[in-house]
Amino acid sequence: MNRLLRTATATLLSTALVACASDGASDDQTRTKGEGAVLGAVLGAALGAAIGGKRGAVIGGVVGAGAGYAVGDEIAKRKKKYASQEDFLDGEIQYAAEYNRNAREYNDKLARHVEQLEQRVARLERRYRKGKAKRAELLAERDQVRKRLAKSKQMLADLNKEYEINQKILADQRKANPKDPSIARLEKEVNALKANIDRLQKGTRQLASIDERLSV
């Protein structure tokens, strides 16, 4: 870490750590928010510095701190809904499992759609090259592809956010109670979520590739 990055990170950490203290003591929700901000500041500053030196580090750190605090805030809100830590973890495991079911279903439909789309677009391209299809037909198909692409990108953003939240919960639980049997259950869902994200990224890239082919 270079001097500029150390300076920017130190400044951001000092700011983020304010969220961890309240009259010399921190409750669970405040700690969760503050820890998220600290982690976000460090990662954001590192990324920002790599992009644009000191200014990039400051900007990246601010963005990262904001994102980290949002994760911590979301976790704190979810904890409020449960009477105990055990109930909270059980609820999050079920929540992650539901996310995975929806993601698998979406990915299955997307895979079928992409396969059919590839065949349809290939036929349309051949007809276009032979002068049997108009440019407007390709653009009309492209518009439909872009709608699907936008939906896939939004789904990807939602899954990535949930993955980030679950990673934080998992890390916190490993630190607080490493022998808790719920850790293995949550870790299984988190790993499945990552696999679903990877699969959705692949499908999204395929849609983007088809979009380019239709942009004549």
Other beta carbons less than 10 A from residue 105's beta carbon: 10
pLDDT (tens digit per residue) in 18-37: 444 444 445 555 555 555 55
pLDDT (tens digit per residue) in 161-186: 889 999 999 999 999 988 899 999 99
To the question of pTM greater than 0.85 for the whole model, the response is no
CB 193 within 8 A of CB 163: yes
Say what the pLDDT of residue 32 is: 56
The CA–CA distances, whole Å, from 146 to 77, 132, 216 equal 35, 24, 14
CA distance 33 to 16: 9
**Residues 117-141: what's their mean pLDDT?**
94
